[in-house]
Amino acid sequence: MSIYETLNPMQQEAVFHTEGPLLILAGAGSGKTRVLTHRIAYLIDEKGVNPWNILAITFTNKAAGEMRERVDNIVGFGSEQIWVSTFHSACVRILRRFADHLGYGRNFVIYDTDDQKSVVKEICKRLNIDTKIYKERALMSAISSAKNEMIDVKEYALNAAGDFAKQRIAEVYREYEKVLYKNNAMDFDDLLVKTVEVLRNNEDVLNYYQERFKYIMVDEYQDTNTVQFRLVSLLSGKYRNLCVVGDDDQSIYKFRGANIYNILNFEKEFPDAKVIKLEQNYRSTKNILNAANAVIHHNKGRKEKTLWTANEDGDKIVFRQYQNEYDEAHHIVSEIRRSADKGEAHYNDYAILYRTNAQSRVLEEKFVAQSVPYKIVGGINFYQRREIKDILAYLKTIDNGQDDLAVRRIINVPKRGIGLTTLNRITEYGEAREMSFFDALECCEDIPKLGKAAEKIKSFVNMIEVFRAQSEYITLAELFTNVLEETGYIKELEAEDSEVAQGRIENIDELMNKIIAYEEEEDEPTLSGFLENVALVSDIDSLDEEEDYVMLMTLHSAKGLEFPCVYMCGMEDGLFPSYMTIVNDDPEEIEEERRLCYVGITRAKKRLIMTYAKSRMVHGSTQYNKVSRFVREITPELFGMGAKPEKEKHESRIQRPSDFTRKQTTKVVTSYGKTFQVNKASVLDYTVGDTVRHIKFGTGTVINIADGGKDYEVTVDFEKSGVKKMFASFAKLKPVD
């Protein structure tokens, strides 16, 4: 039997159509990699094409490696001469030969993100650009977006006319390009842009590669951006044997610059293109596919296709409602554990998918509590994330300044202009006197050669001491909010204005939810108790990578993967799709979210469970959302008995998340970097012997009031908590009649 006889009729058609532009619309699980590898084999074995005349491009090194391996197995001799590579690696090969046509040396260096950041930082310093307003990462993102759209320095400057912020970015972009050229360096975006420039401006080079690559195949075409489209258009311009494979229904990377119109408008660019649809799915059951089709058919900006399968009907879709996110996580983990204990499945048969990284926190804690092994795919465990470790380091320093590691972590986060030389002098001073690092900071005036840095350190120490004073009298949630506000941590992330920064803010919001939950659960919540609680649930270093574990990941990370059983949790309007997507009322944004839901559904092979929490803590407040519209778009008959999402009789309001990071009823301190001020009352409305009430400690009797100069120091004997000393401005004691 020929290897081509194992293919279905549409797969065969895609393999045998070798001449001219070809668009293969390959639905989820339709065997697109198989088609690509067999097509390469057919070109060599049956059409007599030389292997070195074939170029196959994909997006990741992993995908390129897998394709290379499969091509080698199927083609055999001569397969090593086929170019199977990523966009970037193919461009590097071209530029190593022809970079001199652009005035670069062929031995150019490639700058990574850290190198780029250093360059931008230096430029900002030189141009007197305030990096608190124009964050390095935001500037890098703007430059990257411009390059991906083939917008050069001149065009960007023209477009920026009349917009001061964009004009500043244009200045940085211009200087950035000068520095890279001077250093004979290119960033990752340049690898694509400069290759396009070489091909556009040098007919002999373009002709060489057009002759070299007579047959070009591009995988995951729906994820290409503008510059990638230009590249493949140029290379295929002579022979026009361009075969692109993709699925517009799985285009979910708009935030990375992916342009879905590359695939939607393929026939406009290539009017003579052949279009072949691969609609037979080999992965999932009929019920799962019918659910996926029901959702995606609501999108208007797509190529019409319907996935089908010869597989069995399989289990109905399961839909479960829970009271809150803790209830949701508990039942998911318990159900998986029961199934594994009974021997019905392995842990690695399960994947739990969610919309945002922050959702993993509650799940992780339940996995740890029930000793069920898990792994975060494409991400970092919640308590290991940078922003979480930063904020926890602040709380540890407030609770106990003896943790040198915690103090060192946050002394310059956000940036306070305290340099390494200064920190080394403080360290030496402390070590010589057997002091902790924080104690040494408190003695900064006694340390020689600190200069202006001493004032910055004093400000930092003062801030921590005020937080410590506050911690005695206010709730943990209030303390947390104060730390975020007064350090400027959130403001710095907001200024960055990127997808990554937004994800970090969401994770901090989730930590706030953890604090509130802790305070509600404990009779006497303390900062020490909270940090101890976190330490116990975050001890996950012992996880064996070779162990059988449940996969946890965002929906974006799940693309390209498959699992016997998939949980899609947090299926609520306001979370998925997000609140901002809904209120923006942009059909394209909603359609992007719906494609993401489609990707999630089609990861499941045998079972799909969708879960919904009636209430969920978001940004520190309880939010009540209705069932996600994507769940309600699934035909009711596809759900199991008693598990159908209720059709809502009225449109319940999508709650606007309360923004705890920006709201504070009482300002106690000024912003970081300044000396904290206490507003001393001219007169107290209580005196010694009076009964007073405190928000945290309840009622008690005032036994002493001392005028401490800046504030009154009040001593109260509380009925339940005993004797406490506190500053009047922080304590906010109310007289009890």
* Active site positions, annotated: 32-33, 219-220, 250, 603
d(CA 7, CA 13) in angstroms, rounded, equals 9
Residue 219: name the closest of 353, 62, 81 by CA: 62
- For residue 691, the cross-strand partners are 701
d(CA 194, CA 210) in angstroms, rounded, equals 17
Tokens representing 386 are: 């940078």
Given a contact cutoff of 8 angstroms between Cβ atoms, the answer to whether 392 and 534 are in contact is yes
Q: What is each CA distance from 155 to 124, 143, 161, 174, 585, in whole angstroms?
A: 21, 12, 10, 11, 31
DSSP 614: S
d(CA 597, CA 599) in angstroms, rounded, equals 5
Q: What is each CA distance from 172 to 63, 134, 529, in whole angstroms?
A: 35, 10, 47
Given a contact cutoff of 8 angstroms between Cβ atoms, the answer to whether 548 and 347 are in contact is yes
d(CA 510, CA 516) in angstroms, rounded, equals 10
Given a contact cutoff of 8 angstroms between Cβ atoms, the answer to whether 303 and 595 are in contact is no
DSSP 523: S
Burial zone of 563 (CB within 10 Å; 0-12 exposed, 13-18 middle, 19+ buried): buried
Beta strands in 658-728 (DSSP E): 691-694, 698-707, 712-718, 722-727
Q: Which residue has the tokens 């065969």?
A: 12
